Amino acid sequence: MGLEIKIPAVGESITEVTIAKWLKKDGETVKRDEVIAELESDKATFELPAETDGVLSIRVAEGETIGIGTTIAEIGGNGVASAPAAAPAAASTSAPAADPISKGEENPQASNQSGYGGSQAGSANTPTAPATGGAASGGGATVEMKIPAVGESITEVTVSKWLKEDGAQVQRDEIIAELESDKATFELPAEGSGTLRHAAKEGETIGIGATIARIEGGSGASAPAAAPAAAPAASQAAPAAAAAPASSSTSYATGTPSPAAGKILGEKGINPADVQGSGRDGRITKEDAQNAQARPAAPAPAAAPASAPAKAAPAQEAPAASGNRNVRRERMSNLRKTVARRLVSVKNETAMLTTFNEVNMQPIMDLRNKFKDKFKEKHSVGLGFMSFFTKAVCVALKEWPAVNAQIDGTDIVYNDFCDISIAVSAPKGLVVPVIRNAEELSFDGIEKEIVRLATLARDNKLTIEQMTGGTFTITNGGVFGSMMSTPIINAPQSAILGMHNIVQRPIAENGQVVIRPMMYLALSYDHRIIDGRESVSFLVRVKELLEDPTRLLLGV
């Protein structure tokens, strides 16, 4: 066998990655340290280098999501692919090696080395599938299939249903089983082609990473292999052998609904036999069940002509729909799935509340207009609004430390520093890089750090370390035209400040109505740790500092 290439650990909280792109083709010769694939997690994109020289054999298709530690490819040494290398080993096996070969079911490694030497030894010691025999298994390597990581908090799954029987021939990527956790149901695809051997019973609960099945090398179907063996026995076997190919168009999954589809059909009162499955081997998917409609009670055959006019009515109404009705379905990215999971978790696990205020942006705008050219000339960076808000937030966090704290179990962790997370809209979704020790940075230091992190985010080059560890978040929906919103806390933080668009509005100032550029501010906070007095006082302090920016320079 060649060198197995496994998914490396890329971060403490990352349990799975997606094969974003294979940069080398299957069967192509690669060099050591040459980048062969791009891996994508819910936080960043990584490059996977080759660990040795040789011929690349890809095991996992592009776009699949797999767990850390899973083998995704194999590199055959000395420029020879691993699959062809196994054939000479099997051919050179001598007859006296029959005893260890016959124990191949108990020791997969012995099966790989011996190649199941002869058909008699294989069939005599494989009572579960006597028709396949050793010859049907072929000389390929045995693939051990293990339970993949399906979620950060999921440690075990239940084998809900085997879709392929023990000893059945399966093809790569064919769905062989359904796994069920306490949160969802998953389908398990075959990781290779060959003969399936179950290692867990239906209904059994097993842990993540445990072996659930083995796929013995070989791609021949078991029915054709059995036909030649049965032919000398009796001439009556010929009709049965001829009928076997006809039944190969259907499988165990044909017409069978998935658990989710079965639940939907049950609620609608629809018989699965009345639904046409669009999944693999004709399996009824969740989408098939959602689109299915209950059939009306079947009338007597004689009444069929009478019901014809009633059925013609919908056909006449169909042309009423006009225009493009195209529907596109795209796979949700890991980043989007993680953002969705975290936001729902925050809504369910925190006592989130939002308080509002407004700020007159005229003083800051006047200050920017006066010094922005000299500022850019001296510091080579523009003077934006974000540096004013960041400085104001840091001052207010020092005065109200609970807003800068977080809950850890039964403890409250107070941070004496300000690591400010800045929400940035990247091509693949929302990310929040962190400005470390923002309280110690000057205006130009903050602006330069914001530009640096925003550039990395838009180029998809942010690292996990650059996006973790923030103590407070600022998000600016105003750049997209948002007038007011209630931002969701960025866990495990306890508060987030939302900026919005600047609108010219009439306000009362010194007893007179004047027009000023006004912005609404929103502070969402966790009421378990931050009281109303602290949240409102924090936001009022930010408002004071922004409406009189000289306070930021004088520290008052």
Question: Which residues form the catalytic set?
Answer: 527, 531
d(CA 169, CA 259): 24
Q: Token match 């009439």: residue?
A: 506
CB 156 within 8 A of CB 212: no
d(CA 179, CA 344): 24
- Is the link from the previous residue into 84 a cis peptide, with omega within 30 of 0? no
Query: What residues contact 94, with CB distance under 8 A and at least 6 apart?
Result: 117
CB 246 within 8 A of CB 275: no
Query: What residues contact 348, with CB distance under 8 A and at least 6 apart?
Result: none
Cα-based distances in Å from 204 to 195, 212, 288: 21, 10, 28
CB 83 within 8 A of CB 57: yes
Q: Which residues of 423-434 are buried (b: 16+ CB within 10 A; e: fewer)?
A: bbbbebeebbbb
Beta strands in 86-210 (DSSP E): 143-146, 156-162, 169-170, 175-180, 185-189, 194-198, 205-207
Q: Could you give the residue ranges of the DSSP H alpha helices within 380-480?
A: 385-399, 443-458
